[in-house]
């Protein structure tokens, strides 16, 4: 007999959550095309102002949510929250430099390896079991990265792929830290990640002067691309299962290269296309398997 729960129609909260996740994925995919319109600002300068706009947006939401308890919300993040702040903040900065040093397709496909690295880190730190199928799919995905490195050596963009891999590893560590503090509100920790990236940029930048055009680009990156992304995905996580969130999030792998192709005619190399196709197939298979496991658990 089919379980009644499996037959239930989607709730309004689920539909809203799915819409938030789709919108969040759309905003995620915009980073590359925004950066391609920067006129003269250097990478660290963009990171700095992007972080400031991100912090301001997150603070407005956190204060709206917690009111007078906002200081307590920041104190409550504990050590897991500090891990989120450091790891995510580092990934914020590295991702910008990855996009500036390789094609958008190359960067986003490399970043998409994060579920596999997160699974490995969760096994090392939280002792969460890693399925053999996940390890097998990760090996296939790494083969795709090998193709993209080959393309990078031909075109001189291999450094961007390496930076993207670093961003992926730090982002995955941040996700695991967030999971370690899942009983707490981690949005204050995400806000502090913006502080981390701003501090890195402030010390590393030789000059923080920026023209009005590039400041608007940095504002769009901080508010629309980054803050809206995290706020919408956080809202989606209330009503949409994690496996479905991961699967919908894979849409960014298609959208991000599409925007730069339409806007600035940026076409990835043949090896990047081959490697990206391998990675896309791997992460889609991983998300689909997680969704199937979740459905089976609901039906039993």
- pLDDT by residue for the chain (300 residues), tens digit each? 444 444 444 577 778 887 888 888 899 899 999 999 999 999 999 999 999 999 999 999 999 999 999 999 999 999 989 999 999 999 999 999 999 998 898 888 888 888 778 778 888 887 777 677 777 877 887 787 787 777 667 666 788 889 999 999 998 888 888 877 777 888 999 999 999 999 999 999 888 999 999 999 999 999 999 999 989 888 877 777 655 666 677 778 788 888 998 998 988 888 878 887 887 787 777 767 766 766 666 665
Domain ranges of the chain: 17-295
User: Given 3-state DSSP classes, what are the helix, strand and coil percentages for the chain, each rounded to the nearest 5?
Assistant: 80, 0, 20
pLDDT digits (tens, 9 = 90+) for 259-278: 998 998 988 888 878 887 88
Q: Dihedral angle at the C-alpha atoms of 245, 253, 228, 191, nearest 10 degrees?
A: 80
SS3 129: coil
Global pTM value: 0.84
* Orientation angle between helical segments 252-264 and 104-111, nearest 10 degrees: 170
pLDDT digits (tens, 9 = 90+) for 222-271: 999 999 998 988 887 777 765 566 667 777 878 888 899 899 898 888 88
């Amino acid at each position: 007999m089919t379980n009644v729960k499996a037959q239930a129609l989607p709730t309004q909260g689920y539909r809203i959550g799915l819409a938030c996740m789709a919108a969040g994925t759309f905003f995620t995919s915009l980073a590359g095309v925004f950066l391609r319109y920067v006129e003269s600002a250097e990478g660290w300068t963009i990171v700095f102002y992007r972080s400031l706009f991100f912090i301001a947006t997150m603070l407005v939401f956190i204060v709206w949510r917690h009111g007078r308890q906002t200081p307590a919300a920041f104190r409550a993040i504990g050590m897991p929250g500090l891990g989120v702040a450091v790891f995510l903040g580092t990934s914020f900065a590295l991702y910008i430099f990855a996009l500036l040093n390789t094609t958008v397709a190359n960067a986003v496909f490399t970043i998409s390896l994060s579920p596999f690295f997160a699974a490995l880190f969760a096994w090392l730190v939280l002792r969460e079991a890693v399925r053999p199928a996940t390890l097998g799919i990760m090996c296939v995905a790494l083969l795709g990265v090998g193709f993209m490195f080959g393309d990078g050596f031909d075109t001189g963009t291999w450094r961007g792929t390496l930076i993207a891999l670093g961003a992926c590893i730090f982002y995955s560590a941040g996700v695991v830290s967030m999971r370690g503090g899942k009983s707490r509100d981690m949005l204050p920790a995400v806000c502090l990640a913006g502080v981390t990236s701003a501090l890195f940029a402030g010390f590393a930048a030789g000059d923080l002067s920026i023209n009005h055009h590039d400041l608007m680009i940095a504002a769009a990156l901080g508010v629309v691309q980054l803050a809206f992304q995290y706020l919408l995905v956080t809202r989606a996580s209330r009503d949409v299962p994690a496996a479905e969130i991961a699967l919908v999030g894979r849409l960014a792998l298609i959208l991000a290269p599409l925007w730069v192709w339409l806007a600035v005619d940026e076409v990835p190399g043949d090896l990047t296309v081959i490697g990206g196709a391998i990675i896309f197939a791997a992460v889609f298979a991983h998300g689909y398997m997680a969704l199937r496991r979740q459905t089976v658990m609901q039906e039993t």
